[in-house]
Structure formats: C-alpha cells, structure tokens
Structure 1
C-alpha cells in the first residue's frame, strides 16, 4: 500500500452534534522520509495477559513494565525491565481461587485456559494501575471475588489488601482528588460499590452508585481557578455504569457524596479525564464513532463531535488535545471546543488502539504514538507529522503503546505488547 499520499492537505470538518463549530484540520500522510523503527528487545510471553493488562511504573528512575500473568496455574503479577528481563514475580492469592471465579467484563484481564493445581481456573484479576503512594511506586489491581490488592513496585511485596464489599475485576485508579498531595487508591466493585483508601489501605470514603460498573474509575484533581474565574472546580472520582444504552456517569466528591449524575449522549467504549484552561473534562469515546466531553463541574456536555461511524478509542491528552484512535485513523481533538486539529490515516481498515504520549525522538518534546491491531506503529509530532514508523509482523495487538528507554540511549522506545503478553521495544 502506498502511504506517501495527501501530505498537509487542508480539509473542512463538520462537527457531529448541534453547537459544534466547523473545524479546520491537517490531514497528514505518511512518506518515506520517516525513521524506520525495528524491534531491539522482546520479553517472554505472559500467559493470562492479552496485552491490555500491562502498565508502566517508574522505579528509581527506570521505567518497568508490569503485567498480570499465570504461572504454575496460579495468577501472578510480573515486573519486567525493558532491555534486561524479569525483575520480580508475585503470586496473587484469593479466597475465590478454589471456586474458579473469573474477572468481570470491561477493563479487566480475566483468567485464561490454564488450570490451577487443584483443577480450577486461576482467580480473575483486573488490568493493572500504577502510581505513587507516600513516595513509593506501587501496582494496584482488583480480584474477581472483591479484593483490592496493592503491591510495592520495587520488589513485588504486598503493601496491603482490602475487601471491596462487592465483586471486583475492574481496574482501580490512583490520584489526588483534593489537590493536597495525598494520593488515594480508588476501586469500584462491579455492583456499584466504590471504595477510596489512603497510602496505608485505610478507608477514606465509601460510596455506592446504581448500576453495574465495567470500566475503571477516573480520579480528577481540583481546578482552583479555571480560565481566570474566581470560583474553583473541586476534584473527585468519576464512575461510569453500564446500562441500556448508554448508561450513566456519576461524579463523587472527596467525602463520598454524589455531586452529579448524567446520562451522556454516546455509549462509551472507553474514557479518560483531561485538564483544560476552562476546567477539567471527561472524554468519552462512543460506539457510534463520536467523541463527547463532559464538564467535571456539573456533568453538562461541552461538545460532541463525530469522527467516524465506528467505535473510537480515547487515548492520552497533551497540549490541550485528546488523542483518539479509530478504524484506520488517529485524531487530535481540541479539548476546548472539539475541533479536529489533525487527522492521520494508516493501516487501511485496521483498528487503531488508544494512542499514547512519550518522548521518542530525544529532543525533549512529547510525541504521540499509536499501534493498530496488526502491530503497525506510528510516532507523530504535536502537529501530526510522522517521525517514526515500524511494525511487529505476524502478531495481534489489542493494547495501546507504552514507553521506556530499553537501550539506555536516553530516548524512550515504543513498547508494543501483543496478545500473548510479549513486550517488544521498537527503536530507530
């Protein structure tokens, strides 16, 4: 396929909802002047991880990859140092292991077809979340039977484990909803129970929402002075419930009170939180191909914009823009008004996973990167121009890209985690 097409052509893009203005964007093609990235390192497979369970965590200035896995018939979490190998492995025990419970659908990484030593499936666990508690890097997960487990990232030792009060399997979140520097771990049980704990595992607040939770909660920090206004916007925790098209979004305050509940227009298949100069927003990628942004202040819709007629995956945000992946395309969308700043096409009709942001060129600027289901990788500048491309042939990839310096050259490599949990580092 010839990818040297349509470079820097300007198009007009009509918004997908009433009240969304017409946006001008650059449609950027791929040419042969870009650096070719090749695989410089790969890990062993991780049974039990289809790639979507992996995350990165900073340990003493090094970026490690952590993954849920299955070893000797038991669920575990492993840490891998890109460019070197495995750092540690920790078994995840659970009282539900003997019953064969598996993870709930949604943001989960469920049990695979390996049997435990007593003939049962290994306990289901969620995808992993990483962050820092009281200065220490940690890895957090929930189990299907309803436990929140937090491990020390440096050595894999269990920091604490607490009961959720309901069935787990949904990825937890770490963040500071008050802005006072105290990071919390927030976990939502599938039945709508929400628990926030501090760095020692002690409860900070409990809450409950109506409906089934199948998506990770989002922790949003406060904005004391949005767009120069006197009144601030308090932080909190956003929880999305599944329903009969499209479910509801609940925003919970720092004491566990529900500040607002809204029904979005789109049926979200993924979401993220982002900061803008007009206050924080929740960005929802819809099954209909639309992107919707809800105001954290009151849940009202800031905008809805149509990108395509297929589901879109919400990625990371940077420089006032949110990155979105769809079928054969990547978009950078303005967080303020929904204007499409640029669009990049590659891979024909192959789905593009949620894009990420890292430093891959060594010039101290952040670039965006995306990988599609066929393992094709693109790295792009903030203006949407391609600076690297590469591929992992003959593989299937469901996860977005990760980033780490795998060859100690001071520049991040793009990490691709395939359906077998193999981590590969691509470098130019």
Structure 2
C-alpha cells in the first residue's frame, strides 16, 4: 500500500450537519514523494496592508501583481511585474476627486504625480496614518484590464491595470472598505461593477462609471458583495443573475440577491453566520457557498435562496475558496476539504501544518498537465498543491513569514503552467514553482 494513504476508506459522520448523510473520503498523508517547490523570485518587504487584498491582472498577456502599499503617509496601489520590477505606482491622493483621495484632488493619476515606473520593490516607506482601502478585484471592463477597490471614506475606484491611470472614481454615499465585484449583471456581454457601503447601500455602475442602480438596504453590510453571472443565467432556464449581499442585524445574517435593477429577487436567513463566501456553479444549478464561524459549510440555491445543505467540517471557522466543476475547496485549522457541491459529501480531507490555519484555497494547473487542482497556503507560509483526488503533488514555503492571503497564480516563467504567488503580511511577493 502506498504509504501516503493513511486511511484508505475513512468514514466521516458529519456531526451536526443538516440534510447530509455519511460522507466517504480518503485522508492522504504527505511524504518524500511530494515535489518541493522552489522560489523563482521574490520582492523585498513593503509597508501596506496585510497582503490579503492583492490580486493578479493580465496586461498584454503578461501578469502583474497588484497590491496595496503605503508611502509618506499616503495609500499607494502598486503593480509588480514578473521578476519583481515595479511597473507603476498610483497614490490615492492622485486619484480623481474628493472622497476618493480624502481631499480635493483635481486630476487622475497621469504617471507623474508620484506614479513612478520601474525602480526597486522597496521604495515605499512607513505609511503612518495612510487611508484605508479594500482588497482589490481584477477583471476586464469595457475590453480593458482593470483593478477596482473601495475606500473607507466612501468611494469606488477603478484603475487601468496597464498603467495605473484612473478610469473612474464614484462616490458611494457612505463608508466602505469592502471589496467590490465585477461581472455581467444584465447578460448584455458587458460587465458592471458592484460595491456596497458598510451602512447598507449597494451601488452598481457600468464600464464608464455611470450608475446602473443604487439600493438602500435596512441593515449594515459586513461582507463583500458577489456577482453571480454564470453562463446560461437569465436565458429562460430560471437561474437568475444578480448581486448577492450579506447584511448583519442582531444575531442573524441576511442574504439578498438583487437583480440588474437593484430589486431584491429573494431574501434568506442562512443557518450559518458567514465568515467567507463564494458563488459556484453545479450541475444542479449555481449556489452561494458560505463558510461559517461555527466550522459549518452551507450552500444556498441561487434560484430562490433556499438552503441546499449544511455540513459540519470542524468546530473552528472555515474559509471558502475556489470551486472546480462539482466541488468547492475549504480551508480550516490544519485541514483542506473538497466538498461535493451537489449533496455536501466530503470527497476528501487533507491535513497539513498541524493546527495552523489554512487560508481560502485556490484552484490552478500548477503541474502543466491540463488538470487544475487545489492549492492551499497556511498562516505560517506553507504551500501545498494537490490533485483532484486530494493527493499532494508539490509543497513548499515562503520562509519565515505570516500569510493571511490565499494563493495567486500566474505563468511567470513561460512554461505553460501556473506558478504559485504568495503575498506575505509584510508585503513580500514570492513566486514558487515545482
């Protein structure tokens, strides 16, 4: 027997799960047969946020890592190219007008207002009381790669990912700092941007920043909005597109799905208190997957807000990550789970790093065989890549570091497979390859 297989047929009774039976899964150990990942390149540490807001954008076929940094008391959006060279920097004080910069700026970033090109990765200095912004989202908007975020003072900002110039900055009418979402709300082939304020307003704008809708809710928003725009939605199959919003009121969370005009399609009260969430498609229709503070995973039907299932994974909070067809991957204390999206059965569980918390897993083809699999990064900087069966195929680490971010992916060496990018809490970007 392969010594990696510690228990070939371990039966898990999902204690406390609702509507979910016994799940069969393989618990696979890690041994010397797992390849060690090597560091391809890394940047120097830089002041800013904790790394969890960074994203990768593709500009003219080349990846850049976008992260929040600080310099001379200002918040700075920085793009780092493959190899660690800084492609551009855009300070918040150079962006558009009013609340976007926390002042009275008059023009967008033009490459000269503190928006350097090139230079080393360590130029930023201690930001002191730099204004707070949300995590980033990268996507294509109006045919161009962009990066979007919100500010704590209440603006939605969208920058051109190619050079950091301001595409638009929109007043949200209330405080934010919640990561926005980008997707096609009305199925017209063009994406919109949705953002929420913490006091309960949801705003959607088009690719030019013009308002699509603005909806005031009756409770504060405490999670980033999600846009569900899966192929085939709203084409007569009864599966809606929309913006999912989680509000907090008293001891219960409420989830709403808003349509392309801002009206609520449905409102639901989930069984779990969501810590993280994601939208995922399945053969039985798309769902919202909620990772609860109690350690339970719940899925909500996108069609009507009903609960598909709830399954207990552990007694500590879990983080919902990416999905591939039929499964969603979840991180917790020392473990990664693959959960069947149709019925909630745990397909497999992989344990590593002792009790160190595992951040939300990602999915990528790191082996180059055309078969994407989950990749997990834990708070201690340990990286583990697995195949669809939950078998480890590569492992590595980023040295002495704390990591709050899930993995990012990009082909940084042109070999046709994805490398794993990890952004540490001290601002380093580390690229690893097997």
When normalised by structure 1's length, the TM-score is: 0.91
Determine which of 250, 265, 279 is the counterpart of 2:285.
Answer: 279
> Which runs of structure 2 are paired with 1:193-208 in the superposition (5 Å)?
193-208=201-216
Q: Distance in 1 between matches of 2:135 and 2:11?
A: 39
Q: Name 2:119's counterpart in structure 1.
A: none
Report what 2:399 is aligned to. 393
State whether residues 28 and 343 of structure 1, in contact with CA within 8 Å, keep that contact through their aligned partners in structure 2: yes
User: Does structure 1 conserve the Cα–Cα contact (< 8 Å) formed by 2:18 and 2:311?
Assistant: no
Answer yes or no: is 1:327 the counterpart of 2:321: no
User: What SS does the corresponding residue of 1:327 show, helix, strand or coil?
Assistant: coil
**Structure 1 residues 138 and 115: CA distance shift in structure 2, 3 A:** closer
Moved more, 154-163 or 21-30: 21-30
2:82 aligned with 1:90: no
Do the aligned residues in 1 keep the contact of 2:376 with 2:406 (CA within 8 Å)? yes
1:367 aligns with 2:373: yes
Q: Write the distance in 2 (CA, Å) between the matches of 1:396 and 1:375.
A: 6
Question: What is the CA distance between 1:8 and its match in structure 2?
Answer: 5.6
Which range is displaced more, 174-183 or 254-263? 174-183
Aligned equivalent of 2:343, options 337, 342, 346: 337
Contact 2:230 2:281 in 1 (8 A): no
Contact 1:179 / 1:222 at 8 angstroms: preserved in 2?
no
For residues 340 and 115 of structure 1, do their structure 2 counterparts lie closer, same or farther at Cα, with a shift above 3 Å needed? closer
The whole-number CA distance in structure 2 between the counterparts of 1:60 and 1:230 is: 36
- Gaps of at least 5 residues in structure 1 are 100-111
* Counterpart position of 2:13: 14
Cα-to-partner distance string for 1:295-345 (whole Å, 9 max, x where unaligned) = 111111000000000100000000210000000100000111101111100
Q: Following the alignment from structure 1 to structure 2, what is the Cα–Cα distance between the partners of residues 361 and 43?
A: 24
Find the aligned partners of 2:158 and 2:177 in 1 and give their Cα distance.
14
Structure 2 match to 1:174: 182
Return closer, same or farther for 1:308/1:199 CA change in 2, 3 Å cut-off: same
Aligned to 2:430: 424
Q: How many residues align?
A: 408
Show the counterpart of 2:111. Answer: none
Q: Residues 260-287 of structure 1, C-alpha deviation per residue, up to 9 Å, x if partnerless?
A: 1111111111000001121110000001
2:319, 2:255 → 1: CA distance?
18
- Relative to the length of structure 2, the TM-score reads 0.90
Structure 2 equivalent of residue 246 of structure 1: 252
2:227 is equivalent to residue 219 of structure 1: yes
2:149 aligns to what?
141
Q: Does the 8 Å CA contact 1:322/1:334 hold for their aligned counterparts?
A: yes
> In the alignment, what sits opposite 1:302?
308
What secondary structure does 2:385 align onto? strand
* Deviates further, 26-35 or 317-326: 26-35
1:299 aligned counterpart, secondary structure? coil
